[in-house]
């Protein structure tokens, strides 16, 4: 006995002389044996002495960074810091009995863990984000689990105001098997540690606790489950989309104005409009690949593209109408009087087009003279000349005899016969010339009438082109005003701050 007592005294003396770290290690070993071996701790049993006692679980959610927002798949990928706290009634001790140890760390596999899951999980599978981590056990029975995690949740997005939209994404955590009578979840959190994103800005963060009665679980019908809902409010930074989508569309649509200044004879008015329409179609396809399909609403940017495409299509139709008016041929009817009075009168003055029809008409009133009048031969009116030529003893016959004197011959009878023959020959020639002159005059009169009609239709086309330009500019401004009115730049939510 004396030898055994000496050995015990020696061990105590060695323990006193050992560093405090070694003493702490031995106390930790003794404490863990006391908690997990001597008391037969079971990780599958909810750590309460009375089954009617609820386990209050405090969940802290700290948003660190928004990694990706996929509008097409409607998913939100975030880097978060999660912390869980609850009380384990089986893991309590007096620090004085174990060298003043107030807490220690242990792998989570040795403890009872609540079955907390992310309800809106959008990853390829449900990952156990609590695996391969440790927990801190305090002497009063409080357990703390904390770890960073990357979660991918489903978020129903409203892109009606794209690219000036705001998104509200709800992240719901709760137990899957333990109902509200066993586990109650209280949510807290903050966004103080959020790092800015190049596309999204965090404008608010809120959380609320809720107890729902689930009616569609086949394994637990009409059971109440506790959950906590975190709401993340995001605002898109639109500069990227304004620069790469809005500005090119605006510049392309502005080039449509050039088609109204192109001369009709160039033949490029319709070609320019079709080119602009195809360019806008390409941008619209790029936008459709970015945004999710929506049945009830169309994004603002999509409405703008559609409005611009409608205006460009109308401009093409206007160009076709102007071309039709400009190239009206001789077979077309003259310009109606009311069109001449309205378009070439009032409307032309309104759109600042100089009136030139009166000048053209004045020019056409002057009858062209095809033969210069001389003292030797004067052209009388066509019908009078024709009648006079039929009468050899008339005035024109005398003038013709005067201009064509008779040739001197030896016999008067023979001279008279020759004079009659010469007169008949010249009369035949003059009749032919008269017919030719009549044909030429009719031709030029027809051309003058056709030129007048064509000139009037061209001026009608010019006035209509200017009117269509004003209509297109007004339509563009109205479209932009309607789009800007729909943009909601104000916040629509009042976030409830989470208490820490």
In DSSP terms, 223 is beta-bridged to 214
Max Cα separation, the chain? 199
pLDDT of residue 381: 46
Return the number of other C-beta atoms located less than 10 Å from residue 479's C-beta: 18
| Span 32-52, average pLDDT | 86
pLDDT of residue 269: 80
Ranges of each domain in the chain: 21-237, 239-390+435-500
pLDDT of residue 94: 92
pLDDT of residue 452: 62
- For the chain, how many helices (H) and strands (E)? 12, 10
pLDDT at 10 over 50: no
pLDDT of residue 93: 92
* pLDDT, tens digit, 9 for 90 and up, residues 138-192: 999 999 999 888 899 999 888 888 888 888 999 999 888 888 889 999 988 887 7
Is 103:136 a contact under the CB 8 Å cutoff? Answer: yes
| Residue located via tokens 């020759």 | 418
Is 314:254 a contact under the CB 8 Å cutoff? Answer: no
pLDDT at 404 over 80: no
Is 95:24 a contact under the CB 8 Å cutoff? Answer: no
How far is 175 from 183, CA to CA, in rounded Å? Answer: 8
All residues at 6 or more sequence positions from 148 whose CB lies less than 8 Å from its CB, including other chains: 64, 79, 80, 81, 82
All residues at 6 or more sequence positions from 72 whose CB lies less than 8 Å from its CB, including other chains: 289, 290, 291, 292
* pLDDT, tens digit, 9 for 90 and up, residues 386-403: 454 455 444 444 444 454
In DSSP terms, 148 is beta-bridged to 81
Is 30:95 a contact under the CB 8 Å cutoff? Answer: no
pLDDT at 201 over 60: yes
Return the number of other C-beta atoms located less than 10 Å from residue 59's C-beta: 23
Least confident of 91-95, 268-272, 306-310, 369-373: 369-373
Return the number of other C-beta atoms located less than 10 Å from residue 135's C-beta: 22
Q: Give φ, ψ of 474 to 5 degrees.
A: -65, -40
pLDDT of residue 153: 92
What is the Cα 326 distance to its own chain's centre? Answer: 37
Return the number of other C-beta atoms located less than 10 Å from residue 62's C-beta: 21
How far is 325 from 453, CA to CA, in rounded Å? Answer: 11
Residue 56: pLDDT band (50, 70, 90) is very high
Return the number of other C-beta atoms located less than 10 Å from residue 273's C-beta: 23
pLDDT at 320 over 80: yes
Which has more pLDDT, 306 or 230?
230
Q: What is the mean pLDDT of the chain?
A: 75
How far is 438 from 188, CA to CA, in rounded Å? Answer: 106
Least confident of 20-29, 31-40, 51-60, 206-215: 20-29
Tokens of 207: 């959380």
| Residue located via tokens 């001026």 | 459
Q: Which CATH class is domain 21-237?
A: mainly beta
Tokens of 460: 């009608």
| Span 95-101, average pLDDT | 89
CA-based nearest residue to 461, from 363, 354, 343, 349: 343
* pLDDT, tens digit, 9 for 90 and up, residues 57-68: 999 999 888 888
CA-based nearest residue to 475, from 308, 318, 348: 308
All residues at 6 or more sequence positions from 221 whose CB lies less than 8 Å from its CB, including other chains: 214, 215
| Span 10-20, average pLDDT | 42
DSSP 343: I
| Span 33-60, average pLDDT | 88
Which has more pLDDT, 464 or 75?
75
Least confident of 73-77, 253-257, 368-372, 440-444: 368-372
Tokens of 154: 């489903």
The CA-atom distances, in angstroms, between 78 and each of 10, 153, 207 are 59, 8, 16
Buried-state track 245-272, b at ≥16 Cβ within 10 A, e below 16: bbeebeebbeebeebbebebeeeebbeb
pLDDT at 496 over 50: yes
Strands 142-154 and 75-87: antiparallel
Is 145:214 a contact under the CB 8 Å cutoff? Answer: no
pLDDT at 319 over 90: no
pLDDT of residue 430: 74
pLDDT of residue 413: 52
- Highest mean pLDDT pick, 101-105, 332-336, 456-460: 101-105
How far is 139 from 298, CA to CA, in rounded Å? Answer: 59
What is the Cα 33 distance to its own chain's centre? Answer: 66
Is 209:185 a contact under the CB 8 Å cutoff? Answer: yes
pLDDT at 364 over 50: no
| Span 291-318, average pLDDT | 81
| Span 285-300, average pLDDT | 76
Least confident of 34-38, 359-363, 466-470: 359-363
pLDDT at 88 over 90: yes
Residue 72: pLDDT band (50, 70, 90) is confident
Return the number of other C-beta atoms located less than 10 Å from residue 175's C-beta: 20
pLDDT at 416 over 70: no
Residue 362: pLDDT band (50, 70, 90) is very low
């Amino acid at each position: 006995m004396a030898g055994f007592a000496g050995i015990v005294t020696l061990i105590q003396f060695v323990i006193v002389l050992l560093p405090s770290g070694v003493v702490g290690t031995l106390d930790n070993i003794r404490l863990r044996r006391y908690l997990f071996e001597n008391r037969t701790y079971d990780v599958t049993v909810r750590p309460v002495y009375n089954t009617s006692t609820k386990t209050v679980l405090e969940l802290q959610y700290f948003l660190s960074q928004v990694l990706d927002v996929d509008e097409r798949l409607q998913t939100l990928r975030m880097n978060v810091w999660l912390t869980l706290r609850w009380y384990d009634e089986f893991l309590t001790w007096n620090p004085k009995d174990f060298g003043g140890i107030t807490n220690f760390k242990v792998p989570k596999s040795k403890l009872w863990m609540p079955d907390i899951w992310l309800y809106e999980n959008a990853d390829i599978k449900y990952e156990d984000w609590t695996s391969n981590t440790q927990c801190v056990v305090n002497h009063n029975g409080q357990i703390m689990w904390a770890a960073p995690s990357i979660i991918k949740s489903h978020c129903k997005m409203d892109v009606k105001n794209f690219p000036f939209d705001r998104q509200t994404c709800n992240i719901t955590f709760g137990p899957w098997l333990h109902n509200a009578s066993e586990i109650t979840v209280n949510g807290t959190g903050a966004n103080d540690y959020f790092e800015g994103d190049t596309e999204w800005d965090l404008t608010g963060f809120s959380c609320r606790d809720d107890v729902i009665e689930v009616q569609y679980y086949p394994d637990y019908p009409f059971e109440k489950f506790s959950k906590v809902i975190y709401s993340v409010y995001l605002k898109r930074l639109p500069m990227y989309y304004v620069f790469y989508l809005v500005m090119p569309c605006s510049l392309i649509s502005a080039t449509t104005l050039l088609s109204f200044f192109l001369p009709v004879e160039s033949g490029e008015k319709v070609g320019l409009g079709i080119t602009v329409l195809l360019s806008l179609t390409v941008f619209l396809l790029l936008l459709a690949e970015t945004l999710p399909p929506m049945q009830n609403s169309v994004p603002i940017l999509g409405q703008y593209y559609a409005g611009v495409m409608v205006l460009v299509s109308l401009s093409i139709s206007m160009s076709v109408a102007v071309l039709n008016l400009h190239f009206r041929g001789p077979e077309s009817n003259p310009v109606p009087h009311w069109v001449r009075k309205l378009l070439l009168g009032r409307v032309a003055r309104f759109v600042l087009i100089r009136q030139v029809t009166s000048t053209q008409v004045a020019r056409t009133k002057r009858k062209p003279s095809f033969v210069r009048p001389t003292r030797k031969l004067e052209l009388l009116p066509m019908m009078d000349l024709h009648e006079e030529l039929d009468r050899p003893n008339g005035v024109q016959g005398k003038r013709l005899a005067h201009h064509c004197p008779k040739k001197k011959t030896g016999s008067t009878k023979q001279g008279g016969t020759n004079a009659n023959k010469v007169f008949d020959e010249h009369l035949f020639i003059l009749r032919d010339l008269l017919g030719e002159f009549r044909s030429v005059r009719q031709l030029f009169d027809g051309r003058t009438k056709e030129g007048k009609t064509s000139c009037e239709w061209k001026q009608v086309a010019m006035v209509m082109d200017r009117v269509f330009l004003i209509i297109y500019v007004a339509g563009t401004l109205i479209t932009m005003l309607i789009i800007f009115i729909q943009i909601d730049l104000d916040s629509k939510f009042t976030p409830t701050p989470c208490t820490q």
